[in-house]
């Protein structure tokens, strides 16, 4: 599993889109994506977060995105995007971030806005206000540049269907 993951990461890095930047050039930003779940602590009512490698249907998952400027220059116009994975639903109002504008899309990322203002179109053409379960993409637009070595964390929850 671990080897496969690393291989996938390498592959992802290698195929970095040359339309945006020289593939040889090291990215100024590093983004890490980790999943956690809450487990009960024996003999206690508290719960603790542990890294998740699996989850049962219905179980909530906490994802933590760590975005870090690894260059020695400020980086601006930072936008973090995250499609909601298949078989999961975004949990309403579960995201946390700082200095970022959070928006969602219910049409695979074509348009973004706040939940409650977006409409979804049913197969028969009828429109209704989109719900959390309709969210297809999450997006955070940082309002300030990331300073050298600065790191920001974004968290959100998904529930496994």
Partner 1 sequence: MFTLRTSTASAPATLGLPWHACDKRIGLSLSTGRLLKTDSLNESSSASVFACSANARRAGPASSLFKFQRWPALTLLAILPWLFPLSANAAGTRASTPINNTATVNYTDGGIAHSQQSNQNILRVDELLGVTLVSNDAGNVLVLSPENSRALSFSVTNIGNGEETFQLSANTTITGDQFDPQLQKLVLDSNNNGVYDPDTDAVYIPGSNDPLLSPDQSVRIFLISNIPSGQADGAIGSATLQATAVTGSGAPGTDFPGKGDNGVDAVVGVTGASAQAPGNYQVSAATLTLVKSQTISDSSGGGQPTSGATVTYTLTLQASGSGRAYNVSINDPVPLGVSYIAGSLRLDGVALSDSADADAGQFSGNTVEVQLGQVQAPSTHTIVFQVTVN
Binding site for partner 1 (CB under 8 A): 1, 5, 8-9, 12-13, 16-17, 20-21, 27-35, 40, 52-59, 61, 63, 65, 67, 71, 73, 75-83, 85-88, 146, 158, 160-161
Question: Which residues are within 8 A (CB) of 18 and not within 5 positions of it... i.e. 6 or more apart?
Answer: none
Q: Which is nearer to partner 1, 17 or 123 (CB)?
A: 17
Pairing type for strands 60-69 and 88-90 reads unpaired
**Residue 120's CB: how many other CB atoms inside 10 A?**
16
Write down the residue that tokens 């109002």 correspond to. 93
Tell me how far apart the alpha carbons of residues 41 and 134 are, in angstroms, rounded to a whole number.
33
Least distance in angstroms from the C-beta of 57 to partner 1: 2
Least distance in angstroms from the C-beta of 51 to partner 1: 10
Q: Which is nearer to partner 1, 26 or 117 (CB)?
A: 26
Q: Which is nearer to partner 1, 87 or 129 (CB)?
A: 87
Tell me how far apart the alpha carbons of residues 77 and 28 are, in angstroms, rounded to a whole number.
13
Contact 53/1 with Cβ under 8 angstroms?
yes
Q: Which is nearer to partner 1, 116 or 153 (CB)?
A: 153
Least distance in angstroms from the C-beta of 59 to partner 1: 8
């Amino acid at each position: 599993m671990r080897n496969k993951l690393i291989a996938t990461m390498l592959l992802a890095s290698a195929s970095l889109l040359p339309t945006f930047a020289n593939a040889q050039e090291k990215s100024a930003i590093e983004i890490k994506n980790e999943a956690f779940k809450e487990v009960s602590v024996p003999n206690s009512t508290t719960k603790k977060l542990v890294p998740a490698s699996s989850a049962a249907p219905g179980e909530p998952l906490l994802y933590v995105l760590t975005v870090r400027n690894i260059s020695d220059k400020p980086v601006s116009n930072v936008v973090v995007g995250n499609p909601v994975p298949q078989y999961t639903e975004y949990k309403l109002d579960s995201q946390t971030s700082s200095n970022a504008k959070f928006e969602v899309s219910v049409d695979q990322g074509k348009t973004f806005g706040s939940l409650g203002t977006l409409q979804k179109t049913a197969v028969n053409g009828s429109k209704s206000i989109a719900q959390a379960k309709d969210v297809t993409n999450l997006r955070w637009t940082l309002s300030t540049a990331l300073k050298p070595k600065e790191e920001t964390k974004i968290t959100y929850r998904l529930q496994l269907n």
